[in-house]
Structure 1
């Protein structure tokens, strides 16, 4: 593929974001499908922009294949500075991680229809090897984290 082909935009009819375009070289392949979405193998990260134009540390992990769903994700250390995830060596191998510093970790947020009550899944984050453009949702070895930690703090998609 040529450089022009790699950066050519892909049209994605996102259920959450409407019609968007993403660069081909921003696509991230998942090692195994995320739970409940067996036919999706490719995603991209789209920064959530607030009405005032700021980012706020929230992203959409947007599927680039049908059904074009998106997960709201954030860097878990933004909300839980003491977060200390331990992943299995087999997960690190699947992600082709030489060291944890090569990874970027995202926690999935659950945003209820009513304000407040946003929870974050610290037990099963999405780990991305940004250099290799490969990701996997992993279940952590340490058991002090849960799938629905109540989130309090400045990050909230608006």
Structure 2
């Protein structure tokens, strides 16, 4: 099927690549179908594009590209909703908020996107975990090296 996207123009996608968010996303409850589009071959960023609205796309990243030991528990209810059978079927993404000054961009670590990549079901989960920030700076300041 063909979709129009904000960042890539018109694209041909397979219906089998569509991820269903049964409740949409917070603030976008009416949008239930998304597709993951790599930003580039060497880029760690993935665009989560709405199938129904070309203007709605989220830049995301797998948390392992940002921090080590990013762990949280998924509730039994979420596990059932997403039909998760094994951990290897789960993809975790964090939404990036891009700023005009790119080095000020942040990742939302407190509300990850949890996707059952096998069954193409997704949900944004709001964590009750003070270890993870809503605005985690993804570009640490460069420290000057003393010569």
TM-score, length of structure 2 as denominator length: 0.87
Residue 21 (structure 2) aligns with: 30
Matches within 5 A, 1:129-140: 129-140=116-127
Alignment match of 1:40 (pick from 15, 27, 31): 31
- Distance in 1 (CA, whole Å) between partners of 2:72 and 2:105 is 21
> Quick one: which of 112, 125, 144 aligns to 2:131?
144
Q: Which residue of 1 aligns with 2:12?
A: 21
- Give RMSD over aligned pairs: 1.6
Match of 2:89 in 1: 102
Aligned equivalent of 1:5: none
Number of aligned residue pairs: give it.
Answer: 140
* Structure 1: 4+ residue segments shifted above 4 A: none
Greater strand content? 1
User: What TM-score results when the alignment is normalised by the length of structure 1?
Assistant: 0.81
* In 1, Cα distance between equivalents of 2:90 and 2:30: 24
